[in-house]
Every structure is written in structure tokens, then in C-alpha cells.
Chain A
């Protein structure tokens, strides 16, 4: 009886290793930084100065069944020249997609009324911080951003690990 239990325990522990690793795969892959990469958004000339436009990029980590869900939206603000700000579309409150209203110069969230100024900083509403901002690089007239995990307002939000947010 004791030998049987001991042997079963050993086998269970051995089999548990691949099972647990399998279940935690998305967590460990995230820690290994395979999710994030520099992705191009387009030519600098496509974005008029002083305006904020919606852009879409293909997520760097795509699975075969992702379909359109791997196309991620973001707000691109060209201040002037090569000065840009790129914001995640997700509100810093509960992740709903914010919209840009040029008339009022505000980003507004349709879910719970979060509002942000044109530079992404918090204006009002439930969000406790400004919009999530992507790190930017401009090379050869092309604007690229460092994109990775879906930004969430938790204490270790993926974008914050790369660079502290502007807001």
C-alpha cells in the first residue's frame, strides 16, 4: 500500500511538470518577451501635423486562428515634424476603446466617461492615470512602435515595463 502510494506520487509529480508548464505557457512566454517587437505604423508623411489619427497594426505575435483580432488599433498624434505620440486605444479604466474628438481636443471613452487631453494625460472620469503610450522610433521616414501585451491598468502593465507613461 505504502509503496503503491509512493510510486503513484512520484509518477504524478513527474507528469505534473509538463501539465503545469503547458497551463502557464502564456505567462512564461510573456516573461521571455516574445510577445513584443517593433512594428511599423506607416510613413511619417501619412500623418498630418497637429492631428491625431487612428492607425492599425498587425500584432507581432500572431496565431493561425487570430484572424482580424490580431489587427490592433492605436491613436497616432503627430505634434510637429518627427515629434509623435502613439496611444493605446484602450481606456486606462476598464480597457474600452477611447475615441478622439478633434472638436473638443479630447479622447473620450464610451463606457464610463473617462476623458483625456490631446497629450494623453487624464482629464476626468474614472481612469486613475493617462492613456497608455507606446515607445516610438522613427527610422527612414517610417514610424515604428514597440507593441506587446494588451495594456491593462494593473500595477505591472506591460507598456509601463518598457517606459513610464507620459501621464
Chain B
């Protein structure tokens, strides 16, 4: 133990991160925020981490080529041990993430947590919702089955109706004249590099602001948020009726995180992965709306 402590001490003397991490973990939160209503933000982050892990695992087998993507999904489903399960976790994790982000947004809205001084946290959150939806849309294209193929067809048909820039946007989306190899490659780039990179940066900003500004207190009817006095009142509240986030409030977040991971795992196990439906062909179609 003493050796470990000595090594940790040596590292932290140079890194100097232990202190700020401890400060962040133990920052005081109003006691009434240690509620089950406040667990959805951290659950969204946990689901995002699940998506990162399962996404990296899938990328080790998946081939982002219009010719081979579909057959690489067959390999994932049938050849790689638990490939079907990792696919299912990634797919269900995506559905859960969209749902949890929406629930988180609803809670923040109903509790008035978007008010001064947390307006920017809310605005960044809106962009986090958009990037989450962007991940979900680009992710279902990765399957590159007939559903993905015709979904793209619908997407570009809608985009083509944009005045003036429509045709250019269609060209940019497709990367060529038709839905083909270049189309999948660029949506792969969006799904694996561009959108998740943006998402990580925005999550950092979002969490940083939550730490700096403090979690909003439980709303009370009649208690108004006044710019002149709010920050002083909040500071006093965390002093008189506050408790350190770790361990006072964090256990509920941890419990719910485990619960949501278990729920994703159960859905993945029971319902299995999404698709792939038939291979992408311009003349085949499942014959159902919005496929």
C-alpha cells in the first residue's frame, strides 16, 4: 500500500489533478437535490460512455464499405462471439440515450433549471440533444441495409427541396451521383469522428458549467430567481443546507446508472440487435413506410 501511495504521490506532485478532482467531487449541493429526479443527466452520460465502448468494439469488425458493410454485420451477428450482443447493446443504448436525454430535458424544463445563471448550460444541452439525434440518424445508416438505403433516399429527397442550395446539399450528402460507397464513407466519418467529437466537447462544457454554477435547487412556488440576489442566495443555501455531492447525492446517480445499463442489457439480450434487413439494392424494398 505504501508503495502505491508513494507512486500516486509522485504522479500527482507532477500532475496536480487530485486536488481539483476532490474539490469537484465534494462540491456542496443543496440537500434537496439528492433526489431521484436529478439522476437523468448522469444517466445520459453513462449511456454515452456505453456507446463509446460498444462503438469502439463494433468498429474492430465493421467494414465501412457499401460492398461489405452488410456482410460484416453478418459476421458480427454470427461469427464473432457475442457480436450480436454488442450490436444489440449499441442499438438499444442509442434508443435509451435519446429517451433519457429527452427525460433529462423535460426535468430541467419543469424544474426551471434553465434560468439564470444556467441559460448557457441549457443552450449547450439543446445542441447535445441535436448531436445525440445526429448520432442516432447516422448510426442507423451504418447498418447499410435496405432500411438505411431507402432512409437515405428519403433524407436526400427532403434535403433536395431546400430552396437554392438543395441540389448542392444532396451532392454533399451523397458524395457522388447516387447512394453508394462514398455515401456510406462520409456518414461513417460523421458517425465516428465528427459528431462524437462535437458531442464530447459539448459534454465537457455542459458538465463544467454544472460544476462551476452548481446544480439548481429544488424549485418552490413563489420563490423567484432574481439576477441581483440569486447567486448569493444559492451560495448560502449550499452552506446552510448543503452536502458534498460525493457521497451524499452520488449514490442515487450510481444506482440509476447501474439500473439503466441493466435495462439496456436486458433489452439487448431479449430483443436482440436491430437488423440488418435485406442488403441495399435499388430495386428491392421492404414495402413499408419510412423504411
Q: Which residues of A does B touch, CB under 8 Å? A: 23-24, 26-27, 29-30, 35-36, 54, 56, 59, 61-73, 89-90, 93-97, 99, 110-112, 148-150, 152-158
19 contacts between A and B (CB under 8 A): A26-B176, A27-B168, A29-B176, A35-B176, A35-B177, A54-B283, A59-B180, A62-B180, A63-B180, A68-B67, A69-B181, A70-B180, A90-B157, A97-B284, A110-B287, A112-B289, A149-B178, A150-B177, A150-B179
Asked whether, in the complex, the Cβ of B166 is within 8 Å of the Cβ of A155, the reply is yes
**Closest CB of chain B to A63's CB: distance in Å?**
5
Chain B residues lying within 8 Å of A150, measured Cβ to Cβ, are: 153, 156, 170, 174, 177-179
How many positions in chain B have a CB within 8 Å of any CB in the partner chain?
46
Nearest CB to that of B63 among chain A residues?
A65
Tell me what chain A mostly uses at the interface: helix, strand, loop, or mixed.
loop
Chain B residues lying within 8 Å of A30, measured Cβ to Cβ, are: 167, 171, 177
Asked whether, in the complex, the Cβ of B166 is within 8 Å of the Cβ of A94, the reply is no
Q: Which residues of B does A touch, CB under 8 Å? A: 65-68, 149-150, 153-154, 156-163, 166-168, 170-172, 174-182, 184-185, 279-291
**Closest CB of chain A to B36's CB: distance in Å?**
42
Chain A residues lying within 8 Å of B154, measured Cβ to Cβ, are: 94-96, 111
Q: A155 to B176, alpha carbons, bound, how many Å? A: 19
Asked whether, in the complex, the Cβ of A67 is within 8 Å of the Cβ of B67, the reply is yes
Tell me what chain B mostly uses at the interface: helix, strand, loop, or mixed.
loop
Given that A54-B283, A69-B181, A110-B288 are known contacts, is A95 also in contact with B157, CB under 8 Å in the complex?
yes
Nearest CB to that of A57 among chain B residues?
B282
Give the 3 A-B CB pairs with smallest separation, nearest first.
A67-B67, A154-B160, A73-B283
Nearest CB to that of A23 among chain B residues?
B172
Chain B residues lying within 8 Å of A69, measured Cβ to Cβ, are: 66-67, 149, 178-181, 280-282
Given contact pairs A26-B176, A110-B291, A157-B167, a sample of 10 additional A-B residue pairs in the complex whose CB atoms are under 8 Å apart: A26-B175, A62-B180, A63-B176, A65-B181, A66-B180, A67-B68, A68-B67, A73-B281, A96-B291, A153-B160
Chain B residues lying within 8 Å of A64, measured Cβ to Cβ, are: 181
Q: A35 to B177, alpha carbons, bound, how many Å? A: 6
Asked whether, in the complex, the Cβ of A27 is within 8 Å of the Cβ of B66, the reply is no
Asked whether, in the complex, the Cβ of B67 is within 8 Å of the Cβ of A66, the reply is yes
Q: A62 to B159, alpha carbons, bound, how many Å? A: 23
**Closest CB of chain B to A20's CB: distance in Å?**
12
Asked whether, in the complex, the Cβ of A27 is within 8 Å of the Cβ of B283, the reply is no
Chain A residues lying within 8 Å of B149, measured Cβ to Cβ, are: 69
Q: A167 to B287, alpha carbons, bound, how many Å? A: 25
